A and B are shown apart, each in its own frame.
Chain A
Amino acid sequence: MGSVSLLFQHLMNGLTLGGIYALIALGYTMVYGILKFINFAHGDILMVGAYIGLFAFDALRGSSPLGPWWLVSFFIAMVISMLGCAVLGMVIEKVAYKPLRKGSRLAPLLSAIGVSFILSNGAAWMFGTHSRKFNYPFDNSPIHLGGVVVTPHQILILVVAIVMMVALKLFVDKTKMGKAMRATSLDGDTAKLMGINSDMIISLTFGIGSALAACGGMLIALDYKVYATMGTMVGLKAFVAAVVGGIGNITGAMLGGFLLGLLETFGVAVLGIPQGFKDAIAFAVLILILLLKPEGLLGKVEKEKV
């Protein structure tokens, strides 16, 4: 393999990974934009999404042979998983975060950590501590495209991730609801005075963020295993992606996701960082960005008004 095609190979791998990070980072960034709070349970919602998707897919495809119906089942399962997680996200917000909105800054954070722990251990209890594997929706043998090896999974991941992101961007920029979300994010109190139902907007934000996380969870499940704590590290990295892009900024989260995916892939492949320390890359990136440009690439400097 020539060095150019090798470069493209890494690029492809990085973009696929980054697409997933980006999808999950969106949830962190949207919630942070509106409530100024890190939803620690976001990574675990992704895990729940992967489980729902896995079970729904297995039920739908039944014993039918590998074929187009598998792919259709996969997408139906994805819709079910996204809807399920949207509801879960909204319920969590209502039960565990909403009563704490007026309290101290630490309260919702601690509550979110509690929720995260309940979800991951609840899953381990219900589904067992062993990891499961997804049955591929189709034959995953690599395709050679002019020297670059691409797996059908990678194509699926990239296509789904990009479609989701474009849809979200259109929703936020073009619809009335999206405008209300942006207004609430800019200035919640004023938005309220303008007649925007902020409770509903917050609920919607959690719903959309959680649905995207579910989608990300299913995409991860294509190539990696599904287990109760699968969301912790991915969630952490997606958060780093959101910070890199500028937390609270939707385009920033997408950019940050792809960037982090590429950095990780190239860090291992080109810089020769051992696989075992791959997870440390995201952490180093976080510390670096906080030192050099704490507002992130596309974020604005926020200063508390005095």
Chain B
Amino acid sequence: MSMLETQALTREFGGVIAVNKVDFFVEKNMITGLIGPNGAGKTTLFNNITGLDTPTSGKVFFEGKEITGTPADRVCRLGIARTFQNIRLFKELSVIDNVMVGRHFHAGNSHNRTIQAILSYLNVEKEEKKTYLDAMKWLEFFGLENLRNEKAKNLPYGYQRELEIARALATEPRLLFLDEPAAGMNPQETEDLMKTIRRIRDIGVTVVLIEHDMKLVMNICDNITVLNYGQKIAQGTAMEIQSNPAVIEAYLGKDEDEEDDEE
């Protein structure tokens, strides 16, 4: 079985089928791309896997266990983290506090046993010191440690994207979903992002990304799934996808507005 698998996953919104019987596979230690034209259902698929939305029908399996309809916080605790298309940082909190939120359920004692919770409450300082160190590792991973005391909202756009990834990684996921990480980035930033994503893969985190930047997708993805009108129309390596007639048709005439902002 793949690390993550959806079986005939379907999500309807009052008659509109946003995701239609999609079988989506993610293999461990690979970078999986999810592409498709606007409104193809990519983000909806993400949301239904990560628990922000509940599928109308179909199943989701993670590491062999069914997680269909599991709430987002539980999904995260199981080892799946994500970022958002339209960056959702805790704007008024500092950069380090944003990452420390990611450490939330690792801090203190596991599983919130009452007595342990009280003990950790009495020992806030020690717990905070450890959380800070753990969080700082992720800021250093992105070279953001000097910005640690800035408010998240004051960061330049590119850094905000990185901070969001750092925050997600701080939850120590085994699987990371990135929703359009390169949106709004210039070619140099995109280049850096590619390296970053590879580094994330190299530390043992499996990555899935939705992306419209075809250069990035074709370059780094080991496996690509294509959605169109909510349906999976192709799956394979970059080479296979590029020569797939159904994919070419879906994207035909799309070349000129590839640069457009998406969804």
Touch test A–B (CB under 8 Å): yes
List chain A residues, Cβ under 8 A from B85.
306
Count B-side interface residues using an 8 Å CB cutoff: 8
CA distance A303 to B52 in the complex (A): 10
Per-position contact with A for B87-98: 1 when CB-CB < 8 Å, else 0?
010000000000
Per-position contact with B for A285-305: 1 when CB-CB < 8 Å, else 0?
000000000000000100100
CA distance A300 to B88 in the complex (A): 25
Q: Nearest Cβ distance between residue A295 and chain B, in whole angstroms? A: 12
Q: Are A306 and B52 in contact (CB under 8 A)?
A: yes
Q: Are A306 and B84 in contact (CB under 8 A)?
A: yes
Q: Are B53 and A300 in contact (CB under 8 A)?
A: no
List chain B residues, Cβ under 8 A from A306.
43, 47, 52, 84-85, 88
CA distance A300 to B85 in the complex (A): 25
CA distance A306 to B84 in the complex (A): 7
Using CB atoms, name the residue of chain B closest to A301: B14
When A306-B52, A306-B84 are in contact, do A300 and B43 touch as well, CB less than 8 Å?
Answer: no
List chain B residues, Cβ under 8 A from A303.
53
List chain A residues, Cβ under 8 A from B14.
300
Using CB atoms, name the residue of chain B closest to A104: B92
Give the contact-size bracket for chain A: under 10
Using CB atoms, name the residue of chain A closest to B43: A306
CA distance A32 to B16 in the complex (A): 26
CA distance A149 to B88 in the complex (A): 61
Per-position contact with B for A238-253: 1 when CB-CB < 8 Å, else 0?
0000000000000000
Interface residue ranges of B59-109 to A (CB < 8 Å): 84-85, 88
Q: How many A-B residue pairs have CB under 8 A?
A: 8
CA distance A179 to B43 in the complex (A): 32
CA distance A40 to B111 in the complex (A): 41
Using CB atoms, name the residue of chain A closest to B179: A306
Using CB atoms, name the residue of chain A closest to B52: A306
Using CB atoms, name the residue of chain A closest to B72: A306
Interface residue ranges of A258-306 to B (CB < 8 Å): 300, 303, 306
CA distance A73 to B123 in the complex (A): 73
List chain A residues, Cβ under 8 A from B53.
303
CA distance A306 to B53 in the complex (A): 10
Interface residue ranges of B1-48 to A (CB < 8 Å): 14, 43, 47
Using CB atoms, name the residue of chain B closest to A304: B52
List chain A residues, Cβ under 8 A from B88.
306
Using CB atoms, name the residue of chain B closest to A300: B14
CA distance A306 to B44 in the complex (A): 9
CA distance A284 to B197 in the complex (A): 52
CA distance A303 to B53 in the complex (A): 9
Q: Nearest Cβ distance between residue B248 and chain A, in whole angstroms? A: 30
List chain A residues, Cβ under 8 A from B47.
306
List chain A residues, Cβ under 8 A from B84.
306
Interface residue ranges of A197-232 to B (CB < 8 Å): none
CA distance A300 to B52 in the complex (A): 18
CA distance A306 to B177 in the complex (A): 13
CA distance A294 to B50 in the complex (A): 23
Interface residue ranges of A83-128 to B (CB < 8 Å): none
Interface residue ranges of A31-88 to B (CB < 8 Å): none
CA distance A303 to B54 in the complex (A): 12
List chain A residues, Cβ under 8 A from B52.
306
CA distance A43 to B53 in the complex (A): 36
List chain B residues, Cβ under 8 A from A300.
14
CA distance A306 to B47 in the complex (A): 8
Q: Nearest Cβ distance between residue B96 and chain A, in whole angstroms? A: 23
A-B contacts, 8 listed (Cβ < 8 Å): A300-B14, A303-B53, A306-B43, A306-B47, A306-B52, A306-B84, A306-B85, A306-B88
Supplied contacts A303-B53, A306-B47, A306-B84, 5 more A-B pairs, CB within 8 Å: A300-B14, A306-B43, A306-B52, A306-B85, A306-B88
Ranked 4 nearest A-B pairs via Cβ: A306-B52, A306-B84, A306-B47, A303-B53
